[in-house]
Amino acid sequence: MNQNNLSLSHSNVAPQSFKLPLPSLVLYIVFFLFLFGVAVSLFILVVVHNPLFFLCLLFLFGVIAALILWNSFSLRNNRTILHYLHSLPDSDLTVAHHGQLVKIIGHVSCGNVSLESSYEKVGRCVYTSTLLFECGKLGLKPVDVKESCFGWRLAYAERLSTDFYITDKNSGIRALVKAGPDSRVIPLITESRLVTTTKNCKVLASHLRKWLRDRNLSSEARLLRLEEGYIKEGSSLSVFGILQRNSDVMVVTPPQELISTGCLWKKLLLPVDVDGLILAIP
């Protein structure tokens, strides 16, 4: 079938095709400088009885720590990529040349193959994502229904994409988007929560039990959360990739090289390397 499986089924790690280009050596150097600075500032505090240097050091490294935490949070929640995508102007396909990075916003339509969402069975989709979260420790060991949940982990994921068409809202030009097999795709699509079981749940719903059994997952009652997202035909979508021109046919493909977002100073975001075709809701 002409579809692209983006899943890491039965995995605790969601697939990511972007990362902070920050070597581990930099973090070690910063940590060493912090320890050295603390030692020097404590020496000055004891000998000279002047806490100013020590307080300035704590303030400086507090700012650095906050910056690193903010960037880590933004990366995990796709905020960095979304801010970068929204900062780019829409491309003019009438003058865009072969090999140019383009951002296209328009309505999507299915190609030769369409998808159906796994749980809700929504048809005529170009991308589907179904995520199952479990409450508990690592592994697929069921959690006692009497327990309360303090943390969710990804236990199972289904992510599929296929080739589709997008019609540019500005020029009306139709382009083929290569999101099918062997294409690196970064879907920035937020899933909706469909099912959440509680500690008082003794038996799972029949539809949920069937869905779990079809995927060889335990159908025992436990704390679960199921989320699903999809891009349906007719939806408005933002696509970012490389434009390929072949006569009058336009094709958008994943970039062959890493794309850096650069520093987004207004958002206090460091550069991020992106590897793949970006799909996002505008």
Is the pLDDT reported for residue 214 higher than 80?
Answer: yes
Distance (Å, rounded) from C-alpha 181 to C-alpha 230?
18
Q: 130, 123 in Cβ contact below 8 A?
A: no
Distance (Å, rounded) from C-alpha 255 to C-alpha 246?
17
For the chain, give percent helix, strand, coil, nearest 5: 25, 30, 45
Other CB atoms within a 10 A radius of the CB of residue 264 amount to 17
Q: 81, 71 in Cβ contact below 8 A?
A: no
Determine the pLDDT at residue 29. 79
Distance (Å, rounded) from C-alpha 90 to C-alpha 86?
9
Distance (Å, rounded) from C-alpha 203 to C-alpha 145?
10
Contacts of 94 by beta carbon, 8 Å cutoff, 6+ apart: 171, 173
Q: 104, 168 in Cβ contact below 8 A?
A: yes
Residue 117's pLDDT band (cuts 50, 70, 90): very high
Residue 22's pLDDT band (cuts 50, 70, 90): low
Which one has a higher pLDDT value, 190 or 138? 190
Determine the pLDDT at residue 38. 78
pLDDT tens figures, 48-68: 777 888 788 888 888 888 988
Q: What is the largest CA-CA distance in the chain?
A: 77
Nearest to 276 by CA among 185, 182, 180: 185
Sheet with 273-274: list strands edge to edge.
18-19, 273-274, 259-260
Tell me the C-alpha to C-alpha distance, in Å, between residue 122 and each of 10, 48, 129, 227. 23, 72, 11, 14
Whole-number average pLDDT of the chain: 83
Determine the pLDDT at residue 149. 57
Determine the pLDDT at residue 178. 94
Tally the C-alpha atoms within 13 A of residue 78's C-alpha that lie toward its C-beta. Answer: 16
